[in-house]
Amino acid sequence: MENLERFSGGEDYHKREVRDAETEKEIGLGKLEDGDEKFKREIESEMSGRVVVEISVERVERAMAAERGGASRIELCGSLDVGGVTPSVELMRETRACVWAPIFAMVRPRGGDFVYSAAEFEEMKSSIEAARAAGMDGVVLGLLRLDGKVDAARTKELVRAAAPLPVTFHRAFDESADLFAALEDVVATGASRLLTSGGEATAPKAVARIAEFVRRARGQVVVMPGSGITAANAAEMAAATGAKEIHAGLSSVVAGDAGEEEFEVEVRRLVAAVGES
């Protein structure tokens, strides 16, 4: 079984060696320490072969609803209306206090493009430290160069700064000039996973391309389709691409001002859909 540090985060989590699948079955989830409770759902998903479901939120209440709905992991952002920016320290702390599931914090200093100044780059480093201090289990970030290529050098620096927390390279990837070259660059940075819509507005429009990303990645990075994924298409997306993780914000089926119960129901439907695939 692949080392589970790629699927979650946290210093204590990274200290644990994970044995192969057969041995892991003998360990049993019931023997995990109390401090590992927040990782059980994601570990269980991986051990059982179920698809890991990451849900993007910008409010504590939605994070709690996503967890109740069965989400494996939370992506915590500020300002999802601009694609997500770094959440406030207060939001990170409050969400951590209310949610057991692993939480990955967005590290993005502003909306707009992904070419950052030296000052913004330093701000990203500070945000990583703030996320660590707030108890986040991983971070989500992405940087491009002016020529449209992945800024591999600076991304690698941030991956090192975040260690041992895992890093997801986000959909800045989809704006890169050459997606397949960009995939190689992301692998070279040491990022644990790649969030992508396959270069299209939504992932369902790029199924074949995302499947090719999964094939070419060869397990060096977890390719996680995201954007436009709902209960109606999640199972097909996972099956057609071979992806073991999917990402959803559910904005296409749940309005931003909808109640948390409605959001929880849609998360539950999505989780059930991939669980039956």
Lowest mean pLDDT among 6-10, 22-26, 33-37: 22-26
Q: What is the DSSP string of 196-207?
A: E-TTSSSGGGGH
| Buried/exposed 46-68: b ≥16 CB within 10 Å, e otherwise | bbeebbbbbbbbbbbebbbbbbb
Lowest mean pLDDT among 20-24, 51-55, 208-212: 20-24
Model confidence at 49, pLDDT cuts 50, 70, 90, reads: confident
Instruction: Give the pLDDT confidence score for residue 263 in this predicted structure.
Output: 96
Higher pLDDT, 40 or 139: 139
> How do residues 60-102 score in pLDDT, each as one tens digit?
999 999 999 999 999 999 999 999 999 999 999 999 999 999 9
> How do residues 29-43 score in pLDDT, each as one tens digit?
333 343 444 444 455
Q: What is the CATH number of domain 51-275?
A: 3.20.20.380
Model confidence at 50, pLDDT cuts 50, 70, 90, reads: confident
Query: Domain coordinates of the chain in residue numbers?
Result: 51-275
